[in-house]
Amino acid sequence: MKQPLFRCLALLLALVLTVCLLPGSALAGGDPTEELVGSVRVYVSAPIAGEHPNLTGLPEYDDDPYTVEEVHFFELDAAGNPMGSFLPESYSFVANQSYACQVLVRVKTGYVFSGYISYSVINGREVEAQRLSDATALLSCHFVCAPGTVTVRFDANGSPDPAPAPLKVPMGGTIWDAIRNFDRVLMPDQPYEQFWDWSLSPFGDSDGGYFPFDEAVTTDLTLYAMWEPCTESVELFVSLPETCLTEDQYGPSISVPEGAQYEAYTDQFYLGLVDGHLHDDLVYTGPLQKGVSYYSRARIGLRLGGALPRIILHGAELISVERMNWAALAVLYRVTIPEGESLEEARAFIQTPRAGTSDFPQIINLTPGVSMGVQGWYSDPEAGTLHEGALEGGKTYYAKIGVYDGTGNYIVNPQTLRFTVEGKNAKLVKLSYNPATDAPNSAAAIVAVTIPRTWELVVDAPYGGGRFRSDRDPGQWVTVMDFAAVEEGPITLEAKPDPEHLFKMWYDAKTFQRLSKDAVYSFQLDRDVHILAEFVERLPFEDVGAWDYFYEPVQWAIHHDPVITGGKDDTHFAPKDPCTREQIVTFLWKAVNAPEPQSAENPFSDVKPGKYYYKAVLWANEKGVTGGVGDGKFGVGKTCTREQAMVFLWKAAGAPEPQSTENPFCDVKAGKYYYKAVLWAVENGVTSGTGSGVFGVGKTCTRAQIITFLYKVFGPKG
């Protein structure tokens, strides 16, 4: 693009278009009050072999402050020099030929181009930009003509919303060559999942990573939506120091539960609201007053999906929740200071320590102007015996909590005080006061605290093929989940196969007991657990599922060398379709590795050379597997019954004598030509009949049945 001749053509184009298109005022300079435009992004149709130039371009967005006035293409030689003048609309692009594209853009009324256009793009490519006047600029770039198109498909990857429609992308071009702006392929956020990007992998990790839209696309591909799990509920603790009634306060204290995936920051105190909002004129910083309500706000940083999380607020009254941006909330709340001299009610939130520690429970004081503290663990509800040492999971201990006033704000009367305990593992036993041990103007709350049991949880997929996650840790999908201490209680696992696999089942790694066929599996965690997820190969057939009895036989048949059979078409195996005699003999012949017949003699008038079954029938005749249906005919086109198929298999296996004469089938009679074959098949686990003590004599042998029979006789053992 920096060749002298190309520069001359560009300047000539600029001069012609400027003179023809610009009003005198634009040439003379713009109004100094007009807004400056310093970057340009436009879309033009990239060259594709055989297509004609589309000389219309568009800004990336309709509300961009400029329009596309002219689009022109030049042919370039091997050295990058332009060949001839503008290409006409009737021109046909040539595969792999280089072209230069020039785009003239004009600002809309009220705007002017800045002296330096800092960032200019055509179809995602940074390009050379030249400012011609206050109102126009010229963009230039290269394209190499694609020989055709490829298809980029989008997979919603678990979202109930449909994915964007497929794109036809120039082969060797980029996705930007097929879309005007990236919003065209954005997925809407789900209630508690956030769309992040597109990836070659459904898991969006090292298997594929983010897919750059400026990367060349050379073949059809599928991109998967990447989802970030978002916070479904937010728990906040609002607490004030005991000195809040005697010292200036600039705001409350905000805390979140241990291990929370979000953080919160507090605002100042306000005396009220203006039109439902905090206002600087109402900021309050003095000592808080009894009986007065104060307002404040918590700013919470967290991942947000399409729905606001549920807010659980302790120690304050929730007023409103406002979404600030894609990763922040503002929670407006009110704190009311108890009035009067006598403290009528006190509240505390108890956070339970883990088993194996000797920690005291964490007390979050939710009563302004009052002090609280844990005085010790006890083994009995009377707080008579101190407990020392580690806490055991599943056991209940008793924490003695002192409630007292150290600043002369309240009278604490244990006879009238209502004490409320929050926290899922704690409950109030009683309030008491012992003059001999307790401080004046105080109460002692005895709280029962049950230490939750924890268990080891290990989940993995030994053969790969997918990922999983749990509701205890709903983060990214993982291949191995290994937690040393998971709290006892209900838990849900969710499995997701990759595109080449199907989820089959969860099973216990120690006992190999099958647990569930459902990809979402919920259970009660009450012991150490090691669970395995089994993923199996996704076959190319829509009508073959992971739990179909013929899944493994079909998998074996299509991977056998030679292939025993494919599908009826690219996506259907047709398991219920009947089989003809020549089809079954061909399947059998391929199952034993398609041996060449020893003789070219053909005893059957209906078996013609060149047919797919010709060698198979000659081999079967040589081995005594079949002698045809009589009159010199094999029976081409005739459907094969279950008993005929069983005789073919039995004879191919050498016609062994069955070891037992026990016959489980009422429709299999002694003396019939298939009698020994069926008994042999039952002994060797080839068939158990069609149910209710019936083998199914006279019934057509389906494709699923014969492939299953062959798999059990000739497939892998063990």
**Average pLDDT for residues 156-165, to the nearest whole number?**
93
Query: Per residue in 594-607, pLDDT tens?
Result: 999 998 889 999 99
Determine how many CB atoms are found less than 10 A away from the CB of residue 162: 9
> Which pLDDT does position 18 carry in this prediction?
44
- Whether residue 6 is predicted with pLDDT greater than 60 in this model: the reply is no
Query: Per residue in 244-274, pLDDT tens?
Result: 999 999 999 999 988 888 999 999 999 999 9
Domains 149-229 and 454-537 agree in fold: yes
> Which pLDDT does position 5 carry in this prediction?
36
- Whether residue 229 is predicted with pLDDT greater than 90 in this model: the reply is no
Homologous superfamily (CATH) for 149-229 = Listeria-Bacteroides repeat domain (2.60.40.4270)
**Average pLDDT for residues 662-666, to the nearest whole number?**
93
Two structure tokens written together for 568? 């009826």
The residue ranges of every structural domain in the chain are 4-144, 149-229, 233-336, 345-450, 454-537, 551-714
> Which pLDDT does position 660 carry in this prediction?
84
Burial category of 483 from C-beta neighbours within 10 Å (exposed 0-12, middle 13-18, buried 19 and up): middle
| Half-sphere exposure for 637 (CA within 13 Å, toward CB) | 4
User: Percent of the chain beyond pLDDT 70?
Assistant: 95
Burial category of 300 from C-beta neighbours within 10 Å (exposed 0-12, middle 13-18, buried 19 and up): buried
**Average pLDDT for residues 689-703, to the nearest whole number?**
93
**Average pLDDT for residues 385-414, to the nearest whole number?**
92
Two structure tokens written together for 151? 């298809």
> Which pLDDT does position 208 carry in this prediction?
57
**Average pLDDT for residues 430-439, to the nearest whole number?**
86
| Confidence bin at 673 (pLDDT 50/70/90) | very high
In whole angstroms, give the CA distance from residue 19 to residue 15: 6
> Which pLDDT does position 17 carry in this prediction?
46
Query: Per residue in 65-117, pLDDT tens?
Result: 999 999 999 999 988 888 888 999 999 999 999 999 999 999 999 999 998 89
Two structure tokens written together for 307? 């729905």
Where do we find the tokens 């899944």?
Answer: 551
Nearest to 488 by CA among 511, 454, 439: 454
**What is the average pLDDT value for the chain, to the nearest integer?**
91
Query: Per residue in 523-537, pLDDT tens?
Result: 999 999 999 999 999
**Average pLDDT for residues 472-482, to the nearest whole number?**
84
Phi, psi of 118 (to 5 degrees): -75, -30
- Whether residue 234 is predicted with pLDDT greater than 50 in this model: the reply is yes
Architecture of domain 454-537 in CATH? Sandwich (2.60)
**Average pLDDT for residues 342-363, to the nearest whole number?**
92
**Average pLDDT for residues 475-494, to the nearest whole number?**
90
- Whether residue 7 is predicted with pLDDT greater than 80 in this model: the reply is no
